[in-house]
Each structure stands twice: as structure tokens, then as C-alpha cells.
Structure 1
Amino acid sequence: MVWPFTPRFCKQVARVEITGIINGATRTRVLKALKTVEERKFPALLLRIDSPGGTVGDSQEIYEALKRLRQKIKVIASFGNISASGGVYVGMGASQIMANPGTITGSIGVILRGNNLERLLDKIGISFKVIKSGPYKDILAFDRELTEPEQSILQEMIDVSYQQFVQTVAEARNLTIEAVRSFADGRIFTGQQALALGVIDRLGTEEDARRWAAELAGLDPEKTPVFTIEDRKPPLSRLVFNRSRTLAGMEAGMQWLEFELASSGLPLWLYRP
């Protein structure tokens, strides 16, 4: 559906949140929201990121969508408590980036994890018979150790993904590859350090980012409101999780567990202390 051109939306800053782990569900939600921003012809977008990152492909698709959108409107990213790894990558799609001085960011790098249950399976007497078309078809199988050739294959894949990350940051922030590599070793750093490194443009709150977005769009920063675009949860879901922090915490824990299981064996742009 194409939304009509209305003065109402042209005098507001759109706001989209990326919170929690970046995965397929995040990608679907955010891409839908960005399409709405474009169709309703908002003059600027405030992208609030509070995420430790997540899957590589999903982060890349959100980044590419932001790159396309910023050709039409101003896109300002605001880093919240944490915007690390894939959160940083997504932020590179914005026109400008602002973070709090104490924001945890960085963790530029790639990680791939698999589960090796070989010893446990031996103890309980379980083994598997595998018939495969090639020596690497069951790479990262959970019932055995990796072989040296398999480790080399996976390391090469990780190195390629890492190079993509470094290249994107270098291009987005107008830095040299060497400069990015000097801090893209997986370390985390604060928003203040990120400013010194050239990863962000300014220090400030989300409200500061809203004002900046309004200014860049030629709107009055004192009077321009934000319009948050989000999927509404069912009424019962809102009632339950607004009333119980414990249940909300359980939901977050289940999301992490689900992500760990679903992403086993995938390269990740993720910070997980």
C-alpha cells in the first residue's frame, strides 16, 4: 500500500528501534518499518539501536536498506546502552551517528560457534553413522572434533566475513582499512572512544539525535515530534509483559536460548560477554 503524501508526516521525524539480537525476525520487522518510512515520505529517520548484534546476513540486509533510504531522506542513528558488532554494522547505513559517552560499542569482528558433545555421547553410549557425499558435508557436526582442514575452511570463511565488516566501516566512516583494523579486533569501547576513533560523529542522547535529525531535514528542532513505527503486540501480550518484569526477563532468556540453538554453526557479528 502506498501512503498518500500528507503534511502530517512531512513535519515529523520517523523513529525505528532495533533492540535485542538481530535475527530474521528483526530483519523482517525493520525492513517493513523502513518501507513505511519511505512510503509515508518522512523527511528524516531516527534509528535507535540498542543491540549486541546478531546474524551476518540479516545485519547486511538492514544495512543495505538503510543505504538506499538515505539517498532519499536523512537517516540519523542513535546508539543506546549497547550497539556492538552487528549493531555497529547496521549503524553504518545511517547518514550520521550519535552515541552516549558511555555507550558500549565496537566488538567489530566475526565469531562462529559449534557444539561438541562427543564426550557426553560416549558416556551415554550414543554414536552416529554418517554417510556423506564429501569429506566436509558434516562440518561442525556436534558428535566429533573438527579436523585441521575443516578448521582452515571455517577460518577462511570467517576472514572473508571480517573483511566485509572492515571494508564497510572504512567506507562508511571515510577511514583507511588499516585504521579500522587497528581497533577492529573484537574489543569493545565506549561512545567517547568511538568518537575519537571516527566510528561516530557526535556524542549525545536520543533527544539530541532527534533534534539533529530535524535540523538536517530543515525542520524546527524545538517543535518537530517523532513518530515511532512499530508492530503492535496483541493486547493480551502487552498486558502480561507490561505487568511482569519476571516474565519479560524469562522471555528475553528464551530468545537468547532460541538464538543460540538456531545460530549454531553460523558466522555471527555478535558481542556476548
Structure 2
Amino acid sequence: MLKRKVVAGLIIGIALLSIMAAALYGKGDGKDYYGKRGSDGVIGVIQINGTIVSGVDSSSLFSAAAGSDVIMEQLRRAADDPAIKAVVLRLNTPGGTTGGSQEIALEVDRLRKAGKKVVASMGDVAASGGYWIACRCDKIVANPGTITGSIGVIMETQNLQGLYEKLGMDSVVFKSGPHKDMGSSSRVVTEQEQQIFQSMVDDMYKQFVATVSEGRGIDQAQVRELADGRIFTGSQALDNGLVDDLGNYYDALDMAADLAGIKGEPEVISLSPDYPWWGMLSGMQSESSSIYPWALLLFDKLQTGQAQSMRLK
């Protein structure tokens, strides 16, 4: 019995060490692909998976975040590489922060100005900030059942004052100005603060409508009719002019090749870093999202970081 426990312990220990090694040393940065191509007709693929945030990628058992820093670097590499003629952005995201989505979208604009063709390929979900990015591409391809749209902005705060009172908890605040603790969960939001928050949401919303209008070539008044936060299937999005065609990932590659004038079978390379450990976690998450593809949107709505947060929705 003791020997069995020792053997079991060794097996578990080796497995844990293997996982740690993969997490620490198994992160490729895409550099291996550079300088090893056999053609000048190359399509680069960039993955945008999980909630979009500024900064670096991160992942856990319950969430995955697509960091803008990593994606922007990939877009710039594609812009600087003469062999890459087109890029496919593979989107599986419910959206995320306004700043993170804007950072990536700006690099997409610069990539197109560099002469590269960019096609968005929508997977299960490409909504909110994911759609912000997609609408900056030359073309958008969605599955008929893709969930997209959700054009709008949401800011949330929680009032836990009643709960604190029941628990006998009191908050003492020292602040330099009347609005320094705006959105605090320990008190009611004042009428003036509501106006300030709403003005921020309204400004972000105007930016979102403007970028969709410019990217899709749709009048802003028409965009506003669609930009009430609702979500669309891929086929509904096509009917409303929010996407260009229905198809899968390979159809998006074909479209990118056609736009770039690539003859014959293009060489397709991944520009995204290889995170074995994160990939395994993402795979665990995808098991649930494949059953309920809208669950990513629900997670985006329920997640909270601070007392208040603003994100595209």
C-alpha cells in the first residue's frame, strides 16, 4: 500500500512539473516562423480569444484574456514582413475593455495602410469590442450561427450599503475631491455622479457608432438603429450589413488570398504565440462555450473587477 502511494505521488509530481515546465518555458513568440518561408504569398493568422484587455494575455480555469500588447505586436510584425500579403484575424471573444479594443483596432488600421489585406473570421462569438475590431478589417466572414453585434457601452457599479449595514460594517473615506470615490459600493451614487458616468458612456458610444459607420460604410443613423446593445446571429448580421459573407475559417483564408492577389495555394502561418498551458485551459473553457456559445457574453456581463467598470457591449 505504501509503495502504491509513493508511486502515485511520483506520477502526480511528474505531471505537475511537466505542466509547470510547459507554462514557464513553452511560450513561443512566433519568431520561429520568420525567415523560413518558401513563398511570397503568405497569410498570417492572429488569434483573438477571450475577453479583450489592455496589456498581456492571461488565462485561468474560468477565464481567458486577450491582451492588446501581444496582439498589437503580432499586427506590427505582419506589417513589417514583406512576405505576408494578408492577415486573418480569428475572433472568439465577447468583447472587453474600450481601451484594449481601440488599441488593437488602431493597429489594424495601420496594417491596412501598410498595404496588407485583413479579413476577420468570426467563430462562436465576436461581439462588442470584438466587433469593433472586426469592422476595421477589409472584410468580415461569420458563421451563420456566430453571435455578433452587441454594439454599445456599459458601465456598472454595485451599491452594497444595505448589506454593509446588516453586517455592522461602516466605511470611512478620506478623499481629495467630491468625486474621488465615484462608484463606491459603500454608498448611493449621487445625481451629479450619475450624470458624469452617463456622459462617459455616451461619449464612448459615439466613438463606437463612428468607427462602425466608417469601417462598414454605413450611415451613422442606420448604425444607431442597430447599436442598441442587441446581439445578432451571423445570418442576421449579413442581412443588416454588419458582415460581408457567411463561411468558416477556411472561407476567410480564401477571401484573404483573393483580396491579396495570391495565386495558387497560399502559405498559412500562425503569428500568435504558442501557450501550451494556456491553450489547455482555453480548451477547458471552450467545452462549455461550445454548448452555450452565448455564455461568453454572459460572462462578460457578470465579471467585475473594481467597484465600477466600463467596457464595450
TM over 0.5: yes
Supply the distance in 2 between the matched residues of 1:68 and 1:226 (Cα, whole angstroms). 21
SS in 2 for 1:43: strand
The one of 33, 52, 60 aligned to 2:74: 33
**Deviation above 4 Å: which 4+ runs of structure 1?**
3-7, 238-242, 246-249
1:220 Cα deviation from its structure 2 partner: 2.9
Residue in 2 that maps onto 1:150: 193
Distance 1:8 1:37, change over 3 A: farther
Please state if 1:45 is matched with 2:75.
Answer: no
Deviations 1:142-162 (A, max 9, x none): 101111111111011100100
Is 1:120 matched with 2:163?
yes
Change (3 A) 1:46 1:239: closer
Amino acid at match of 1:159: D
What is aligned with 1:180?
A: 223
Q: CA offsets, 1:73-92, max 9 Å, x none?
A: 00011111111111100112
Alignment of 1:70-89 (within 5 A): 70-71=112-113, 72-89=115-132
Tell me which residue corresponds to 1:207. Answer: 250
TM-score scaled by length of structure 2: 0.76
Out of 20, 23, 28, the residue aligned to residue 50 of structure 2 is: 20
The 1:180–1:116 alpha-carbon spacing in structure 2 relative to 1, beyond 3 Å, is: same
The equivalent of 2:176 in structure 1 is 133
Is 1:226 paired with 2:233?
A: no
Aligned residues: CA RMSD: 2.7
Q: Which runs of 5+ in 1 are unaligned?
A: none
How many residues are treated as equivalent by the alignment? 260
Query: What's the CA shift for 1:133?
Result: 2.4
- Residues 196-216 of structure 1 deviation map (CA, whole Å, 9 limit, x = unaligned): 211111111110010110111
Contact 2:184 2:307 in 1 (8 A): no
- After superposition, the C-alpha distances for 1:85-111 in whole angstroms (9 at most, x for unaligned) are 111001122111111111111110100
The structure that has the greater radius of gyration is 2
Partner residue, 1:189: 232
Distance in 2, Cα, partners of 1:13 & 1:262: 37
For structure 2, the 5+ residue unaligned runs are 1-30, 57-66, 289-294
Is the contact between residue 21 and residue 52 of structure 1 (CA under 8 Å) also seen in structure 2? yes
Normalised by the length of structure 1, the TM-score is 0.86
